[in-house]
Amino acid sequence: MAALSLKRIHSIDQLRGLVMIIMALDHTRDLFHEGSLTEDPLNLDTTTPLLFFTRWITHLCAPTFVFLSGVSIYLQQDKIQNAAALQSKLLKRGCWLVLLELTVVNFGIWFNVHFNSILFQVIGAIGTGFIAMAFLQQIAPRLLMLTGLLLITVNQFINVPALSTLVVQQLGPAHTLIVAYPPLPWLAIMLIGFGMGPYFKQGTKNAAWFARLGLILLAGGILLRAFSGFGDPNGWAIQKNNILTGLSFIRVEKYPPSLLFTIFMLGMALLLYAILKKQTLPQPINNLLEVYGSVPLFYYIIHWYLIHGALIITLFIDGYTLDQLNFGGFGFGRPLQQPNGYSLGVVYLVWICAVLILYPACVRYRQFKQNNPDSFLAKYL
């Protein structure tokens, strides 16, 4: 998501843009859906196939962001050939992302001026990954990729709260820290991306190569899932019908990302990359995806404020007053009285409108970056 500056590779930006559009669907569901505050959309006892899919498909986003961040670090290293300069850039960028996560992003998520809940998720994980990569980037890419594969394989057996596993920690009577994206497994995915970096250089591998690799990962993940209990802490089981059995099979663990989660999501990402690399989609769609993918941090921050602002306005239109809104932990401003919220149809409508509204702002910001490459905003947003 937080791409370093380099000569753009169109298909990388387009893949990033695609998953950013999908990401906005998940956050719209979090904020708007009638069951988001009380039900798990992946709970097979209460979900519907559409609700399950609406949540599950967005699992693709974070690992793709982090993987492509690793790829971008390699491409930047290959371009500038200056380890000290890249180390400085990664350290500054990483610290900046962590700071943004704990301030601007958290406020956009909660709209809570007291910061009673402090959520550490994908921006913070990328930031800590950049900090680590500042000191690891001179190690051979293949060795780092093998290290990443080993880490993601054994992480479910490592229990270091906030480093390798999700943690909810009280910081006092009124404040809670939630580390939803523990740094170690997400660093592992970044290492895999860095190790794959040489294959993303222009002219190195064609679309068919990425498609084959994606299919190999998916086929291997399916076999591992079907015939062993290894690779994910959540088993699967035969359900009351074939659809629910299929959902049980693909319900793999994201918090923290398991081996099977990583295999499935990166396999899908590589298949999508192969499609985009062939440039077979209509050019307006390619341009749309590329715009979003070339200004990822800008898009990420303003999409929270846009969608969350739309929620509050909608609640006021529905007749709720300010004193009825709950801005506490995981309240998002939704009224304390349950049930409330909106149907999946409304969620999809708000999502589509939000993505379209973001487009002109992203176009203008991309133009600003191109015209002012040395400005603070261009470098750090």
Q: What does the pLDDT look like over 230-271, one tens digit per residue? A: 999 999 999 999 999 999 999 999 999 999 999 999 999 999
Q: Is the pLDDT of residue 281 over 70?
A: yes
Residue 271: the pLDDT is 98
Per-residue confidence (pLDDT) for residue 93, from 0 to 100: 96
| Nearest of 281, 302, 307, 274 to residue 363 by alpha carbon | 302
The secondary structure of 157-185 as a DSSP string is G---BTTTB-EEEE-SSS-EEEESS-HHH
Which of the four pLDDT bands, split at 50, 70 and 90, describes residue 5? very low
Looking at the chain, the whole-number percentage of residues with pLDDT higher than 90 is: 91
- Asked if residues 185 and 151 have their Cβ atoms less than 8 Å apart, the reply is yes
Least confident of 10-14, 201-205, 303-307: 201-205
* pLDDT exceeds cutoff 60 at 133: yes
Q: Which of 96-100, 158-162, 344-348 has the lowest mean pLDDT?
A: 158-162
**In the chain, what are the domain boundaries?**
10-380
Average pLDDT value for the chain: 95
> Strand 176-179's sheet: what is its strand order?
117-120, 176-179, 167-170
Instruction: Kindly write down the DSSP assignment for every residue of 1-40, as one continuous string.
Output: --PPPSS--HHHHHHHHHHHHHHHHHHHHHHHBTTTTT--
Q: Which two tokens stand for residue 43?
A: 């709970």
Task: Specify the pLDDT at position 1.
Answer: 56
> For 33-54, what is each residue's pLDDT tens digit?
999 999 999 999 999 999 999 9
The mean pLDDT of 188-200, rounded to a whole number, is: 98
- Output 5 or 150, whichever has higher pLDDT: 150
